[in-house]
Amino acid sequence: MTLFRAALLDLDGTLLDSIPDLAMAANAMRVELGMDVLREDVIATFVGKGVDNLVRRTLAASLEGEACDEALFQRALESFYRHYHLVNGDKAVVFDGVLDGLKAMRELGLKLAVVTNKPTEFTLPLLQRTGLAGFFQAVVCGDTCERKKPDPQPVQHACALLDVAPEYAVTIGDSLNDTQAGRGAGTRVLVVPYGYNEGVDVRTLEVDGIVATLVDAADWIARDGAVLKTA
């Protein structure tokens, strides 16, 4: 048995490769505004801090997301939402190891939650379309709480929904956003190396472990939780 009682998982870049859909919507937005399209791998570096930041970065074609005219930003945001609703889930793919990892976590008796910066109106349909919705007892989205990751509030809220104290939870993500949110909330933190980390090497992050897949994450939880319980 493991001491841990819950796993809180990021969505984009941890559970799902959603870049093809996000890039399609972002480029459709740019074309609508009279701009050239960007490479998919460039747009991938813009993902991680919510839709507003993705839109600002895509407008600027820069990770810094320089300030732009507010009217232009609102036009761009409306355009992105419209285009993303059309393609959300069309080409998103569940990463290797996710289904087996989630099953293993469930067999360990863990409560599972998604904690994402993606808005609710995109998150819930995406979980349904990819067949992941049934694994999770709670879903905390970018508009659920007053603040988004990297603030710890969404992680704390997920723990409250699951009725699990943060010290008995593990946050699993792919970026600095996730590690800061998990650390700030008082959970343990694992990262996967295959996601969207805004160009930051996950080996530089303050984490309890780097796991190649969610199967490895389940193994870590079982092993380290048992150690904690007997210590």
Give the residue numbers annotated as catalytic, written as ranges.
Answer: 10
Collapsed DSSP state (helix, strand, coil) of residue 203: helix
DSSP alpha helix (H) spans, the chain: 19-32, 40-44, 51-60, 70-87, 98-107, 120-129, 153-162, 176-185, 214-230
What b/e readout covers 2-20, taking b as 16+ CB neighbours within 10 angstroms? bebbbbbbbbbbbbbbbbb
Q: Structure tokens of 89?
A: 């889930």
Distance CA 137, CA 214 (A): 18
Q: Structure tokens of 106?
A: 């469930």
Contact 59, 66 (CB under 8 A): no
